[in-house]
Structure 1
Amino acid sequence: MGDAVLALDRVPADDFGFTLGLRDAVGGDRLVRLGQCGHLTLEQAAPVRTFRWSRGLGHFPGWWWSVTTGHHVGYESWLERDHVRALDYDRDVVGLASQPFWLHWNDGRRKRRHAPDYFARLADGSGVVIDVRADDAIEPKDAEAFAVTAQACEQVGWRYRRVGVLDPVLAGNLRWLARYRHPRCAGRAEIGQRLREVFASPAPLLATAERAGDRIAVLPALFHLIWQQELVADLAAARLGPTTLVTPAGSVGGAR
């Protein structure tokens, strides 16, 4: 983390009252002044909280293998898993870490802290801090923490998002396509090339794919190309099916 990381008991809050708590790869905890952390690679940060699995917790934590990063990213609920999946699909996202830091502040009465759910690095080099919480599950203390986190992000030049339940159609399509995200699903190079040829202009999914070969061989490769967004479909309009219109990425009037 370089010179910006100081000893835990030596770091005062910055001018805005914020410090960030980080955890290194061997489990050591450090604090960083907010104003000194803009250059840190938080998309590679170790989770500051432990992901726990035990009976009766009432939530469903796990690890998502990210094709974007090549390693696992943690989630603490199925809603978080939906958003990790969507972030993995997003071509603008080039790095992703779960529970990347503790944000520490004093609310005037007591010391507070909040661990955002994700930090995403975008292709343009900017950073996005993300909290995942359904609209109907936000308590007053949560709303305060989210507002403070947004303020801290503004000071350091990161974007902040609080996201809720994904559209069910989009979530379902991403859940299906994610089965084919691994590079092994691309199949033989000639299959991918043939699919690019038959979908050179907008065409229905199943009948057109069968022009490229046997469906058992070509459909996994087709879904992989859609996940990679070399071929695209409108994933928010309707569930993927035989008549879904598939088109090359970037084509005029094509689905995004």
Structure 2
Amino acid sequence: MDGSAVVASAWDYTSGIEVEFVDADGVERSGPLTSWWAEPFELASSVRPFASFKGQKNFTGEYWAATSRTHVGYESWVERDAAMALDFDPAVVALASQPFRLAWSDGEREHRHTPDYFARLLDGTGVVVDVRPENLVDEATAKVFAFTARICEAVGWQFRNVGDLYQLYRANLRWLGRYRHRRCHRSPVAHRLREIFADPLPLLVGAERAGDRLAVLPVLYHLLWRHELTADLTLSPLGTGTLVHLTSRDRP
């Protein structure tokens, strides 16, 4: 679909939808979504601050995304895990937290909604992400998410409603996330590990073949984070016996 067709389709479904955001230069912008849908929202600053105060029940903070080498905010552990999962996704090249605020009227009342994340994929597709555990999605929230999904479809974005990650996957992802920084990469060791894991081997067996395990393991975990090596993160806790192998794309 060319740009004019996208705009025409978006106008049909999003006429009256306003968007407010802070662009990559720190300038506050607002206007019809049909005029701004192509903005690189993955570079936008958060449209609102992340509150932190004594006695607060939820946990706020910033997650450092290795994908874009930027900090993205979160307002709960569930949001932090969602950001980590996006960062781990090899299709994601950049992400931003609370990238814009949508505003619209249904004829009876005014609505405003700020999605939790905006991600950009390798193929250029934008992804709007709302994070809310299923048991906390009430009727009003479900309607907002459904409307947001419809808006996203109109302008060519994906929409994802993300809840709690599967517990085992979440634990494994949190472990690998400790080694996401590029400082964990050592080229000679990484090259040796790619050779060793050309065929599946237990994690510790392969690590010891590559050298001192204390020096090798951080590199091994980094390669798993980068998807150069792969393992089933949903099968069991990542450990010494986990089968690891070179990803198909990196095989000779």
Normalised by the length of structure 2, the TM-score is 0.90
Question: Could you say which residue in structure 2 is the equivalent of 1:9?
Answer: none
**Does structure 2 conserve the Cα–Cα contact (< 8 Å) formed by 1:43 and 1:96?**
yes
- Which runs of no fewer than 5 residues in structure 2 stay unpaired? 1-12
Residues 10-44 of structure 1: CA deviation (Å, up to 9, x unaligned): xxxx8632111112467653212121223210000
Aligned to 2:247: 249
Q: Per-residue deviation at 1:103? A: 0.7
Task: State the Cα RMSD in Å.
Answer: 1.8
Contact 1:130 1:160 in 2 (8 A): yes
Query: Which residue identity is paired with 1:173?
Result: N
Cα distance in structure 1, aligned partners of 2:112 and 2:174: 33
Structure 1 window deviating more from structure 2 (134-143 vs 120-129): it is 134-143
Instruction: State the match for 2:167 in structure 1.
Output: 168
- 1:179 equivalent to 2:187? Answer no
Bigger proportion of residues as helix: 2
- In the aligned structure 2, how far is the partner of 1:228 from the partner of 1:251? 12
Q: Distance in 2 between matches of 1:29 and 1:107?
A: 25
Q: What is the CA deviation profile of residues 133-172 of structure 1, one whole-angstrom value per residue up to 9, with x for unaligned ones? A: 0001112221121111111111111111111110011111
Moved more, 19-28 or 39-48: 19-28
Per the alignment, in what secondary structure is the counterpart of residue 211 of structure 1? helix
Correspondence for 1:140 = 139
What number of residue pairs does the alignment pair up?
A: 239
Whole-Å Cα distance in 2 between the matches of residues 170 and 15 of structure 1? Answer: 37
| More off after superposition, 143-152 vs 220-229 | 143-152
Q: Unaligned regions of 5+ residues in structure 1, if any?
A: 1-13
Q: Distance in 1 between matches of 2:25 and 2:227?
A: 37
Cα separation, 2, equivalents of 1:141 and 1:179: 37
Q: Which amino acid aligns with 2:97?
A: S
Give me the TM-score of the superposition, normalised by structure 1. 0.89
Percentage identity across aligned positions? Answer: 50
* Aligned pairs for 1:215-254 within 5 A: 215-250=213-248
CA change 1:251–1:202 in 2 (3 A) is: farther
Structure-to-structure mapping, 1:1-256, within 5 angstroms: 16-24=15-23, 28-187=27-186, 189-250=187-248
